[in-house]
Amino acid sequence: MAADSRPDAELIGLIAGGDHHAFEELHRRYARPVLGIALRRIGDRGRAEDATQDTFASVWRSAARYDPTRGAAASWLYAVARNAIVDGLRRRPDPTVDDPPEVASSDPGPPEAAEREWLSWRVHRALETLPEQERSLVELGYWSGLSQSEIADYVGLPLGTVKTRTRAALRHLADELGDELR
């Protein structure tokens, strides 16, 4: 059986035996969602990338401790990621002193920043109106970067249920936000 068609639990078992190809496949499947979660939680790309790297280093070191009878492989991997992210949050970046820029900043000015903050606030308020079962799916998809299949695995729901709830949530958000999205 090709490594890319093997279940996650089997890949973790092969990783415990030192299989580099199985590790590469597991990394290919989960690096993007782990980085998305880390970015959302940490807020700094460099530290989020470090947490993602720490996650997969931990997977390599602790694959032998994975027990498939205690839960899904994806759940175990996300728990390892959560621990790495928490460790990443504890680390503070060293303060650096940058020279003042010689060119005017291309960052948005106060009016654009205010507009962006207003829209962000409105979207978050609209998200709060969603039922929890829909809101969590939207958050996993849009802030954590998970595909609907990955969300289904993560929350333990059928893919069709995830798609239906996501569509309902997006319809509800569109109704709630109305003209602000145009």
What CATH number does the domain containing 75 carry?
1.10.1740.10
Amino acid at 98: D
Instruction: Kindly state whether residues 7 and 83 are assigned to the same domain.
Output: yes
2 φ, ψ to 5°? -70, 145
What pLDDT does 42 receive? 85
Amino acid at 156: G
**107, part of any domain:** no
Q: What is the mean pLDDT of residues 33-57?
A: 90
**148, part of any domain:** yes
CA 143 and chain centroid, separation: 7
Per-residue tokens: 5: 């068609």
Domain that holds residue 31: 3-90
pTM for this predicted structure: 0.50
What pLDDT does 43 receive? 84
Q: What is the mean pLDDT of residues 83-108?
A: 70
What CATH number does the domain containing 141 carry?
1.10.10.10
CA–CA dist 152, 80 (Å, integer): 19
Mind listing the pLDDT tens digit for each residue in 133-171? 888 888 888 878 889 999 999 889 999 999 999 999 889
What pLDDT does 31 receive? 93
